[in-house]
Structure 1
Amino acid sequence: MTDHDVIQLRSADPFADVAGQNLTDLGSGGAGVQRSSNLIHIRVQQRNGRKTLTTVQGIGEEFDKKRLLRAFKKKFACNGTVIDNDEYGEVIQLQGDQRTHVSEFLLEIGICKEEQLKVHENSKKKRKMTEKQTSMLTDDEATLYDRQIRLWGADAQLKLRQSRLLLINVNSLSLEVCKNLCLAGVASITVFDNTHVTAEDVEENLTLTMSANDINESKSVCTCRVLQQLNPRVQLTAESTMTIDQIDEKYIEQFDYVCLFNHYDLAMISHLNKLCRGQQQIDENGKKQVHFFCAGTFGLYGFVFKDLGDVYEYLSENTVGSESLVRGDSNNESKKNEKITTKSSRNFVSFEKALTTEWKPNRRQATTRSAITTYNILRALLTFYKTHHRSPTLATQDVDIANLLSILREQSSSFTASASTSNNNDELNEELLKDILTDNNAVASIVGGIMSHDIVKAISKQEPKDNFFFFNGVACVGLSIPIAC
């Protein structure tokens, strides 16, 4: 047997291992065999209603169709089968319109060349779906998002599919939010971070998307590569070349929501918030601005802030008694309640205005005390950054913790959050403050879940919560509080 025969024998199986790798992981330059005979035809057929079926016909007999089908089903998250046709031989059938996915996959593993692929248009041409043209969910999407559609409705899911988000900085909190929104089915997420993976990231808090093999690689690239597997329908883009101070109006205008994580430079936060407020986009409902979210976790504490604009309109559902009466078995008449949906509005303020406004909690002290602690730590971190032009770190914790305590004591004497502020200072000692210099995945999961829910509610135009959410893991208390709005 010659060397040529050995190569042909190995390349006949598109899933054979080559140099320890699976051919499905190789690019178009892999060692896969390429057909030289007939064309491979990829068609889509309209079934009943909006359902479609993709057929793949013409793949050579040297390839195992059932193994290909298993690969298609796993990679495209769809059902399928292989049928025997008297005229065309073995034909692969896949649920939904998978023409683009199949053609790219066949080229990727080297089964054929591009000129050997024939992708047919649908005989009943459908209007190309764009963000503004989409009026209904596809059958595949309705199946994939069935549970959440039951929760917030098909209209909300459509709005999610049209939403574009920018997530700035990669950490345990942003990973949680990115994961949740990716599974929810938004249109696109851009992960903005120009830093690289370190050994500390792998060991402490970013094990969800990074491993030891990713050290020195871009955090945003690692995040997109792993989270893309959760939902191939969401477009994940890594931005690893720009710095945060290069973000301008032109860059912001391509997004609907901007989310900033664990950044305590008040000047930069205010700048991004101002850029979002300055963007006016025209849609079918009129004008809308780019909405701004800011969140952070520090040890067992965390917060979420949102600015939905000066006038945020939403739909609220109220229960009222109808005029009709229902007669029961005992001939007693009672009013039947019904739900009506009304249009309401609410005002929000910028992050800078909220932080410079004196906050006077008017709720019970037992529930607000924990939120006040988180609020005071947040303001201390912002002041620390303004003074030292950096955030406190573990490497310099001996000096940084003392400076933070000093800032907190100055705040308690000059700024009155409530009459109970002095009581909160007792729990803020050096040992406890050391914890705020680390990421806590459990706290990130809680705060990230709240933030993701707020974003989904904003996208679907549901009644929003207050502009601030504070979490105190020491007291196991989370509270939504309006400040300056």
Structure 2
Amino acid sequence: MIDMIAKEDPIISEEEAAQYDRQIRLWGLDAQKRLRGSRVLLVGLGGLGAEVAKNLILAGVKGLTMLDHEKVSQESCRAQFLVPVTAQGENRAQASLERAQYLNPMVEVRAQAERAEDQPDDFFLQFDAVCLTCCSRDLMVRVDQLCSKHNIKVFCGNVYGYYGYMFSDLGPEYNYVEEKPKMVKPSGDTNDGPKAKKAKVDPNETTMVKKTASFCSLKEALEVDWTTEKAKAGLKRTPVDYFLLHVLLKFRTDKGRDPAPQSSGEDARLLRQIRDDVLESMGLNRELLSDDFVSYCFSEMAPVCAVVGGVLGQEVVKALSQRDAPHKNIFFFDGRKGNGVVDYFGPQ
């Protein structure tokens, strides 16, 4: 028997039942109760963060805390629909609060204008899930390692022009339920012919199956040893976006920001140099990531934010409600091709 996560059993009022009627019909009352009893921390209120905030608020979590120390800029207004165009120069989290709360008054939405890096460990332990967007590698690894010790789910993501990704760590033993078609046992002896030898699927009935999945940490996912024979054998099946992610995370480590349109010339040269250094350190050929990648990774594009934010928000909802199979464990999206791919980079 798999024990589901024990949480407080929030009472769903008649008003909430009406508000979440479609969702309750979709994934059940118990799943909605688990979602309704969950508190989420969302770091980063750029275009991707706004999409995630919208999806979590509409889904009906108990509380959402939005944390961001950045200011609203003219560029951020293009992809961030929660901030008014008149809010330039204001804090992004605080400027997003009014519209975010308007989406669903039943959710407790808060805004904090502080740096995530400056928060003590205890701050992150208040939540059932932490979602980090537009953050540095060091911060994401720190929070992931901290939260994994306390059974707190961690999600990371970012959008770079046409590219986007999301990562999830739900722990070494994540329990969930999945709806499957019900198998009907063959009937007894009949006089019309031989007995049925196999169970059949009844398309009109379903049953809930309890399952368990194991997730690796972000540190493990990013520190694959590509010199091993096993890793080399899987290199052709590995999305090139994985190596692009390494380059972009290193850029943020070095510059303290993501590539910016206003400094595209300088940033493009630095990105290519980082590409060479990163792939060389992995023992891989620089040609694995062609030079033209620098033409497609500047700024946050609203359509890409919508796609990646939709996937990321849905994965948080699935994890908190413990309903349906989660992605395991990195989702990459390439807006040039209009497709996404999920891959696993932890221990096999």
Query: Larger % of helix: which?
Result: 2
More relative contact order in 1 or in 2 (CA 8 Å, sep 6+)?
Answer: 2
**CA, structure 1 residues 178+425, in 2 after alignment: closer, same or farther (shift >3 Å)?**
same
Deviates most, 394-403 or 384-393: 384-393
CA distance in 2, matches of 1:414, 1:213: 46
SS at structure 1 position matched to 2:154? strand
Decide whether the 8 Å contact of 1:262 with 1:295 is kept in 2: yes
**CA, structure 1 residues 172+362, in 2 after alignment: closer, same or farther (shift >3 Å)?**
farther
Q: Does 1:480 align with 2:317?
A: no
For residues 80-229 of structure 1, what are the structure 2 equivalents within 5 Å?
Answer: 132-134=8-10, 136-202=11-77, 204-206=78-80, 208-229=81-102
CA distance in 1, matches of 2:178, 2:283: 35
Deviates most, 165-174 or 308-317: 308-317
Structure 2 gaps of 5+ residues are 1-6
Decide whether the 8 Å contact of 1:168 with 1:259 is kept in 2: yes
CA distance in 1, matches of 2:255, 2:31: 44
Instruction: Name the residue aligned to 2:158.
Output: 296
Decide whether the 8 Å contact of 1:256 with 1:290 is kept in 2: yes
Decide whether the 8 Å contact of 1:326 with 1:336 is kept in 2: no
CA distance in 2, matches of 1:298, 1:397: 13
Identity percentage over the alignment? 28
Please list the CA deviations of residues 164-213 of structure 1 after superposition, one character each: whole Å capped at 9, or x if unmatched: 000001111110111011111110000001222223333x222x122232
Instruction: Name the residue aligned to 2:251.
Output: 384
* 1:157 CA drift (Å): 0.8
* 1:132 CA drift (Å): 2.1
**CA, structure 1 residues 445+331, in 2 after alignment: closer, same or farther (shift >3 Å)?**
farther
Decide whether the 8 Å contact of 1:373 with 1:472 is kept in 2: no
Q: Which amino acid aligns with 2:19?
A: L
Instruction: Name the residue aligned to 1:425.
Output: 289
In structure 2, which of residues 149, 153, 159 is the aligned counterpart of residue 278 of structure 1?
149
For residues 366-381 of structure 1, what are the structure 2 equivalents within 5 Å?
Answer: 368=237, 372-381=239-248
Q: Which amino acid aligns with 1:391?
A: D
* 1:221 CA drift (Å): 1.4
Q: Which amino acid aligns with 2:304?
A: V
In structure 1, which of residues 445, 460, 463 is the aligned counterpart of residue 321 of structure 2?
460
CA distance in 1, matches of 2:208, 2:166: 28
Please list the CA deviations of residues 286-313 of structure 1 after superposition, one character each: whole Å capped at 9, or x if unmatched: xxx1111000110111100011112212
State which structure, 1 or 2, has the greater radius of gyration over its C-alpha atoms.
1
Decide whether the 8 Å contact of 2:217 with 2:346 is kept in 1: no
* 1:378 CA drift (Å): 0.8
**CA, structure 1 residues 144+385, in 2 after alignment: closer, same or farther (shift >3 Å)?**
closer
Q: Which runs of 4+ in 1 moved over 6 A?
A: 330-333, 361-364
SS at structure 1 position matched to 2:32? helix
Please list the CA deviations of residues 351-398 of structure 1 after superposition, one character each: whole Å capped at 9, or x if unmatched: 111100146497896xx57xx232121100122233444433233322
For residues 300-339 of structure 1, what are the structure 2 equivalents within 5 Å?
Answer: 300-319=162-181, 321-325=183-187, 335-337=199-201, 339=206
Instruction: Name the residue aligned to 2:125.
Output: 253
SS at structure 2 position matched to 1:199? coil
Decide whether the 8 Å contact of 1:266 with 1:352 is kept in 2: no
CA distance in 2, matches of 1:295, 1:446: 12
Please list the CA deviations of residues 17-72 of structure 1 after superposition, one character each: whole Å capped at 9, or x if unmatched: xxxxxxxxxxxxxxxxxxxxxxxxxxxxxxxxxxxxxxxxxxxxxxxxxxxxxxxx
**CA, structure 1 residues 326+483, in 2 after alignment: closer, same or farther (shift >3 Å)?**
farther
CA distance in 1, matches of 2:188, 2:337: 48
Decide whether the 8 Å contact of 2:164 with 2:304 is kept in 1: yes
Decide whether the 8 Å contact of 1:296 with 1:302 is kept in 2: yes
Decide whether the 8 Å contact of 2:9 with 2:37 is kept in 1: no
Instruction: Name the residue aligned to 1:18.
Output: none
Q: CA RMSD in A?
A: 2.8
Q: Does 1:450 align with 2:323?
A: no
Instruction: Name the residue aligned to 1:406.
Output: 273
CA distance in 2, matches of 1:148, 1:363: 39
* 1:435 CA drift (Å): 3.2
Instruction: Name the residue aligned to 2:4.
Output: none
In structure 2, which of residues 118, 139, 143 is the aligned counterpart of residue 268 of structure 1?
139
Decide whether the 8 Å contact of 2:84 with 2:95 is kept in 1: no
Decide whether the 8 Å contact of 2:259 with 2:297 is kept in 1: no
With the length of structure 1 as denominator, give the TM-score of the two structures: 0.62
**CA, structure 1 residues 278+326, in 2 after alignment: closer, same or farther (shift >3 Å)?**
same
* 1:218 CA drift (Å): 1.9
Q: Which amino acid aligns with 2:222?
A: L
SS at structure 1 position matched to 2:185? strand
Structure 1 gaps of 5+ residues are 1-130, 280-288
Deviates most, 224-233 or 395-404: 395-404
